[in-house]
Each structure stands twice: as structure tokens, then as C-alpha cells.
Amino acid sequence: MDVYIYQALLLSVLAVALLQLVKMALKPRPRLPPGPWKLPVIGSMHHLVNVLPHRALRDLADVHGPLMMLQLGQTPLVVASSKETARAVLKTHDTNFATRPKLLAGEIVGYEWVDILFAPSGDYWRKLRQLCAAEILSPKRVLSFRHIREEEVMLRVEEIRAAGPSTPVNLSVMFHSITNSVVSRAAFGKKRKNAAEFLAATKAVVGLSSGFNIPDLFPAWTTVLAKLTGMTRSLKEIHKTVDTILEEIIEERKRIRDEKIMGGAAAEDVDENLVDVLIGLQEKGGFGFQLTNSIIKAIILVIYSILFSPTRSPLIIFNGNTYARVHICAGHVRGRDGDVGVGHGVGDVGADAEPTSDEEDAGADQGGVPWEDGGDRGRPTGEQPPVHEAGDQRGPAAASAGTAAGAPGEHRGVRAGRVHDSSQVTGHHQRVGHRP
């Protein structure tokens, strides 16, 4: 009797398996890009082991073409490795690729994907992007922080001058200190006593939300794998640190803001930093969604996390879907012929005049604002980028060439690691800029 039962069970299993095979054979297969051969469970992950990922992708693209498909665990990955295919993905078919995957870091540290980086494409994301572009980091708002950039750069120039001609200076550390100070003062109004703890937590977030994390590659098993690998515990500890610090800052700025308003100050005159601006927008409302404290904290965290992006820690100002990049990284603070000028403002286009409403509208129509220091995105087609006295500072889609001219004067500059009289040097009296 038992034999008949086992035979019936075996026949049932075989029948179900055969039915599934027939369904798979009859089901039309989508036209997918070519790709390398795959293994069960891990898919194409073995092609990226023990080799730098960008070199592995380059070698695979040489074999399978500029558009190929990989399978990393349960996650399909389409790789565009040529200018034409990248343009098709990022511009022509942008709406089809706009949504980011729901990473575990975005859920735990990003307040359940409410920030502009991790929020899914849709009405909320569009309204949040418009809020960031029009209110938080508009050209006028960025120009209002000009004095912060000037003061911080001048402090570092004085440090270089005081170091003497034979004392080595670690420029990487110095320029990262500039970006940290500028962002801290612009976001919070002052340098915080717990800034080191906050920066360490932010850096850890970037590390856990970038690259290939095993729990994120297996969405069906993310919860289990994140607990086994300790990723959930690490992210919750980071979230606790970040949330406590940001909540303290928000409550402090609300108290200061209320005291000023009670003292007779106008609401628009009490916005000293980005947190103040966000609090004012929270009170104002009318954006199509409720601007909660969690969203405010997520926006500030995004601005800070860009300090640790894979672009050698530049100060990147996020504006809608555009990055206005002020290159402050090692080897980039150079004028023409290797000089650093100290007479002009830092990182301002048309710094002597605030942007007009027409200029702001033109930037918004392009999905953001013009590059703060010479980029082309957000500028009408055919218009030449502004020429800077110290070279151009350009964004990811920068042109391949660009030069600038300076004017002689009587200030002092830095060249070849030492302080000297730059009155006869071409790069004197220039803005700090990037020259490839």
C-alpha cells in the first residue's frame, strides 16, 4: 500500500514539474540584452570576483557589446558602457529607469525612502525635487552662502602661508576640512561639537548604501541575510546616532527661530541656514505633501552624505536632478600656471549680482539650476559657459577643454608649495577653480 502512495506522490511531482516546463517553453521570452553565462543562485556574480568591478565590466562589454545584462543574485542589472547607450538610458528612456531599488540603507537610515535619492519615482519625488530646486538650493540661496565659502578658503590659504616654504601641507586633509566646514555652517549655522561623530556615521551610511551588498542583491531574503551579516544592526546604530543629532539641531533651531520672531523679526529674516529654511517651509506648507521632521532630516543627511561620494570628496550642492559641483579636492585648487589667487570670491558665477527671476526660471525648466561654477546643465542650448579667471569648474558632463585668463595685481598667491609674491604671475587675483 505504501508503494502505491509513493508512486502517486512521485507521479504528482513529475507532472507538476513537467507542467512548469511546458509553461516556460510556451511563454514568450522578453528580448533581453546579451550577457555572460550564469550560475544558479549567484547568477553572474562570479564574473566580478577578485577583479576591480569597472575593469570586469569593461572586459565583459568588449565581449557582449555596449549594452549587456548581468544577474547579481536575484537582481537583474543592465550595464550601458558606451556614450550612445548611456544617453539612451539616462536621457531618451529616462522615465523607464528613474526608480531606484529599495535598498536596506534607504529604509532604515533614509527614513523609509523619503529622501530625494531613495524615494521611488512618482508624484512625491517630483514635488520633493521641485521643493529642493526652488526653495532649498536655488541660485539665490547658494549665493547667500558665498561669505562662508570665502571665509573657509581664506582660512586655509592663511594656514598654507603660515606653514612656510619648506613645510609640507596635506592638501587632501585640508580640502576635506573645507568641505566639512562649509557644509556644516551652511546647513546648521555653526560647526557642531559632535560633528566628528555625525561625519563618521554619515560616512558609514555611504559605505553601506553603495557597492554590492549581499542582502540587497537578494530581495526575497534581505531581512534574513541582513541579520546574519550584521548589516541591520549596523544600520540601526547609525540611524540612532544620526537621528539623535539631527533632532537636537532641529529643535534648537526652532527655539532660536521662535525667539527671534517673538522679538519682532520677520519670518523671512530669520533663515540663517538650511535647517532654518526647511523649518520655515514646514510651517508654510502647501507643497502637496507634509514636510515632516523625518523628511527634513533625510534631506540634510543627503547633503552631508555627498561629502563621502566616490568623487574624491568634493563639495557637491544638490539641486533637483542636477549637481552643482564646486571642486574642492586635492590638486583642484589651482589657478592658471599653478597659482591660487586670494583676491576674489570662491565658487560664484556672477557673484556681484543676484540671479534674476528669469534666470531662475530658465534653470528650473532644465531640471535644475545652472552649474554654480561653469557647468552646462540648466543653460539654454547654444549659450557659451561663463569663463572663469582661474579655469573652469565643471560637472560630470564637462567639456573636454577650457582655459581662462587672469589679471595682475598686488596680492600674494601660492605656487609650487610655497608663498611668494604673485604680482607678476598670470594666476594672481583669481577664483579658486578646477583646471584639468
Output the pLDDT for position 234.
94
The per-residue pLDDT for range 21-37, each reduced to its tens digit, is 888 778 787 888 999 99
For 76, phi and psi rounded to 5 degrees? -75, 140
Output the pLDDT for position 426.
41
Output the pLDDT for position 394.
38
Output the pLDDT for position 297.
94
Output the pLDDT for position 261.
85
Specify the amino acid at residue 78.
V
Note the residue count of the chain: 436
Query: Is residue 297 within 8 Å of residue 243, measured between CB atoms?
Result: yes
Output the pLDDT for position 188.
86
3-state class of 323 per DSSP?
strand
Query: Average pLDDT of 363-383?
Result: 39
Res. 1 pLDDT band, cuts 50 70 90: low
Tell me which of 245 and 401 has the higher pLDDT.
245
Residue where the block lists cell 583642484 = 332
Q: Return the H-helix or E-strand segment holding 421.
A: strand 418-421
* Cell of residue 28, nine digits: 514568450
* Dist CA 101 CA 247 (whole Å): 27
Query: Is residue 38 within 8 Å of residue 44, measured between CB atoms?
Result: yes
Stretch among 153-157, 281-285, 358-362 having the lowest mean pLDDT: 358-362
The per-residue pLDDT for range 311-357, each reduced to its tens digit, is 443 333 333 333 333 333 333 333 333 333 334 444 444 434 444 44
Report whether pLDDT(59) > 50: yes
What does the domain layout of the chain look like in residue ranges? Answer: 32-97, 101-320, 329-436
pTM for the structure as a whole: 0.64
Mean pLDDT of all residues belonging to the chain: 73
Query: Is residue 208 within 8 Å of residue 305, measured between CB atoms?
Result: no
Specify the amino acid at residue 36.
P
Query: Is residue 428 within 8 Å of residue 411, measured between CB atoms?
Result: yes
Query: Average pLDDT of 206-222?
Result: 87
**Could you tell me which of 38, 323, 41, 52 has the C-alpha nearest to residue 212?**
52
Query: Average pLDDT of 47-76?
Result: 92
Q: Which of 142-146, 251-255, 271-275, 411-415 is most confident?
A: 251-255
Question: Could you say which DSSP state residue 329 is in?
Answer: S
Output the pLDDT for position 412.
39
Task: Note the Cα 33 to chain centre separation in Å.
Answer: 29
Residues in contact with 91: Cβ distance below 8 Å, sequence separation at least 6, in sequence order: none
Report whether pLDDT(62) > 90: yes
Angle at 268 between CA 263 and CA 274, to 5 degrees: 110
Output the pLDDT for position 235.
94
Res. 307 pLDDT band, cuts 50 70 90: low
Report whether pLDDT(229) > 60: yes
Provide, rounded to the nearest whole percent, the portion of the chain with pLDDT above 90: 28
Query: Average pLDDT of 361-371?
Result: 38
* Dist CA 330 CA 174 (whole Å): 9
Provide, rounded to the nearest whole percent, the portion of the chain with pLDDT above 70: 69
Report whether pLDDT(230) > 80: yes
Residue where the block lists cell 541591520 = 232
Domain 101-320 homologous superfamily, CATH: Cytochrome P450 (1.10.630.10)
Report whether pLDDT(294) > 90: yes
The per-residue pLDDT for range 83-103, each reduced to its tens digit, is 999 999 988 988 888 878 889
Stretch among 14-18, 117-121, 297-301, 326-330 having the lowest mean pLDDT: 326-330
Q: What are the DSSP calls for 389-414, one per residue?
A: TT-----TT--S---------S-EEE
The per-residue pLDDT for range 416-425, each reduced to its tens digit, is 333 344 344 4
